[in-house]
Amino acid sequence: GQVLPHAPGRRRLVGDLAGLAPETAVQTIMARNAASGPIFEQRIFRQKFVFVASGELCAELCDESRFEKALPPALVALRDFAGDGLFTAYNDEPNWQLAHDLLLPAFTRPAMQRYHGVMLQAVRELFEVLPTDGRSVEVAPLMTKLTMETIARTAFSHDFGSFTRPEPHPFVPAMVTALETGRRLGALSSLPGSFLLRRRLRRRNAGHQAYLDSMLDELISERRTGGRHEPDLLGIMLEQAHPETGERLSDRAIRYQILTFLVAGHETTSGALSLALHHLARHPEVLARAQAETDAVLGPDPDAEPAFEQVPRLRFVRRVLDETLRLWPTAPGFARTPREATTLAGYRMRPGDWALVLLPMVHRDPDVWGPDAEAFDPDRFLPERSRGRLKHAYKPFGTGERACIGRQFALHEAVLVLARILHRFDLTGDPAYQLRITERLTLMPRDLRLVLRPRVPAP
Ligand code: MNH
């Protein structure tokens, strides 16, 4: 087949595997291929990965008339866990359309108004556990507790008690292990002769998976028979039939969706919040502007909570978030496959082939963002500076029909949480800290510690 540009150092058997640690794979591929151009390949054993790194090719792949979502090996492996749930369903699986149509109303404005209170409550619980004596806190685990509680309570009215228990709820480590197993299986899928290894991994994970399944199945059957009505995602899936076809999701399909929402709905938002706090601590002038905005919208009382309608008025906080997701989009990529045979930058693609949009590279393309593309500057997202910029070159939530269904949810939650934190606290980090990113399915700052000090009220 055709060979695309790739970084030097390829070996005959393992391809470009050498030096690719799983927890930094995206960053290593970025660094190695800084000079490979807008499209390049990496080979791991026999599996070829095609990456797109420019805004222009990203925009081309986002053309829904020519391309659609593909499931790369990492997502295929996740199907052990989340089956044909929204995120891991193939485009033509009937449960995708059914679940999409049933759940879309759960992400409209009136539904979001119901979640607003849940989000505020999670922040209150966070504030209860934050030290106020100048000790530093590790940011990412706290943000993960917060987003986990929010999604569990909105998706199925379940309280994991993350902020009150000494140990995490057993569901959480079981989920982490199941996901990690999925990732390892995905990584091994192209390794010849790894069958036994994969079987051993599956077997070791079986207990965790069984625990997750039984807990959710119990919850689902309790809700079915108990007559309790909740306006959460679970309630919608249990009680509603498709308005046109009358179809319903089976209990197993509902379990897949709940697992999907728990996974898709918390790590990405948690990483975004943590990274935003890092940038704010690094850029005191940006922090001051964001705080001034929260003061203007919320007033002087540090306990003031935003009303639902006030959240979209926090425009600068939103731009901080947009810029955070530009530099480190916490879901670092998505895959696209052609609907019919075509070419991409001269590279021939047939249905079944796929290319990965490598978002952290696409989002730093100097042809789109200018020579200072690496710099943190929220004002890039001012309307007057966005005009004329290439469309479809900023895609932190994916694209088209299979784009993120939780986008509004995530943005509302993240702006609300950031605003509450900034309104109440000053942030300081260790000046010697170098941002390091850990990769799982998502990106997360590693060992990020900040001191949150209550702000001194203006005289
Ligand atoms: Mn989310 C799909 C990014 C928050 C639920 N999400 C996607 C995709 C990206 C993405 C990218 C497309 C993946 C692909 O094409 O293969 N999501 C994010 C980011 C955040 C986020 C960066 C936070 C920041 N996502 C959320 C939240 C929820 C959620 C919050 C749930 C409440 N996301 C989903 C679901 C899908 C998805 C469900 C799959 C949608 C579909 O294919 O129908």
Per-residue pLDDT of the chain in tens (459 residues, 90 and over written 9): 788 999 888 888 888 888 888 888 899 999 998 999 999 999 888 889 999 999 999 999 999 999 999 999 889 989 988 999 999 999 999 999 999 999 999 999 999 999 999 999 999 999 999 998 889 999 999 999 999 999 999 999 999 999 998 888 888 888 888 888 887 887 777 777 788 888 898 898 888 889 999 999 999 999 988 888 888 999 999 999 999 999 999 999 999 999 999 989 899 999 999 999 999 999 999 999 999 999 999 999 999 999 999 999 999 999 999 999 999 999 999 999 999 999 999 999 999 999 999 999 999 999 999 999 999 999 999 999 999 999 999 999 999 999 999 999 999 999 999 999 999 999 999 999 999 999 988 999 999 999 999 998 665
**How many angstroms separate the alpha carbon of residue 117 from the centre of ligand 1?**
22
> Taking the alpha carbons of 161, 167, 173, 174 in that order, is the dihedral positive or negative?
negative
Give backbone dihedrals phi and psi of 64, rounded to 5 degrees, phi first.
Answer: -70, -20
Pairing, β 333-338 against β 347-349: unpaired
* Cα 53 from Cα 38, distance rounded (Å): 5
Using the 8-state DSSP alphabet, how is residue 207 labeled?
Answer: H
373 contacts 63 by C-beta, under 8 angstroms = no
Q: Which is the catalytic residue, given 268, 269, 294, 337?
A: 268
Does ligand 1 have an atom closer than 6 angstroms to the CB of 272?
A: yes
Q: Which atom of ligand 1 is found nearest the CA of 395?
A: 11
With 0-12 / 13-18 / 19 or more C-beta atoms within 10 angstroms meaning exposed / middle / buried, residue 19 is: exposed
Residue 41: the pLDDT is 92
Which of helix, strand or coil describes residue 137?
strand
- pTM for the model: 0.96
* Cα 354 from Cα 69, distance rounded (Å): 9
**How many angstroms separate the alpha carbon of residue 410 from the centre of ligand 1?**
9
Using the 8-state DSSP alphabet, how is residue 66 labeled?
Answer: T
Ligand 1 binding pocket mutation candidate from 404, 411, 417, 440 (most atoms within 8 A of CB): 404
Terminal-residue alpha carbon distance, the chain: 71
Does ligand 1 have an atom closer than 6 angstroms to the CB of 266?
A: no
Does ligand 1 have an atom closer than 6 angstroms to the CB of 78?
A: no
Which of helix, strand or coil describes residue 285?
helix
Q: Nearest-CA neighbor of 331 among 414, 398, 259, 257?
A: 398
Residue 295: the pLDDT is 97
Residue 93: the pLDDT is 97
131 contacts 262 by C-beta, under 8 angstroms = no
Which of helix, strand or coil describes residue 188?
helix
Q: Nearest-CA neighbor of 393 among 38, 37, 35, 60?
A: 60
**How many angstroms separate the alpha carbon of residue 147 from the centre of ligand 1?**
14
444 contacts 270 by C-beta, under 8 angstroms = yes
Which of helix, strand or coil describes residue 288?
helix
Residue 18: the pLDDT is 81
**How many angstroms separate the alpha carbon of residue 261 from the centre of ligand 1?**
9
With 0-12 / 13-18 / 19 or more C-beta atoms within 10 angstroms meaning exposed / middle / buried, residue 316 is: buried
Residue 459: the pLDDT is 53
As beta bridge partners, residue 51 has 40, 356
DSSP codes of every residue in 265-289: TTHHHHHHHHHHHHHHHH-HHHHHH
Q: Which residue in this structure is represented by tokens 């901080």?
A: 320
Give backbone dihedrals phi and psi of 397, rounded to 5 degrees, phi first.
Answer: -110, 20
Q: Please give the order of strands across the beta sheet that includes 39-44.
A: 39-44, 47-52, 355-358, 333-338, 67-70
Give backbone dihedrals phi and psi of 350, rounded to 5 degrees, phi first.
Answer: -115, 160
Q: Which atom of ligand 1 is found nearest the CA of 71?
A: 16
CB atoms within 10 A of CB 226: 8
* Cα 51 from Cα 308, distance rounded (Å): 40
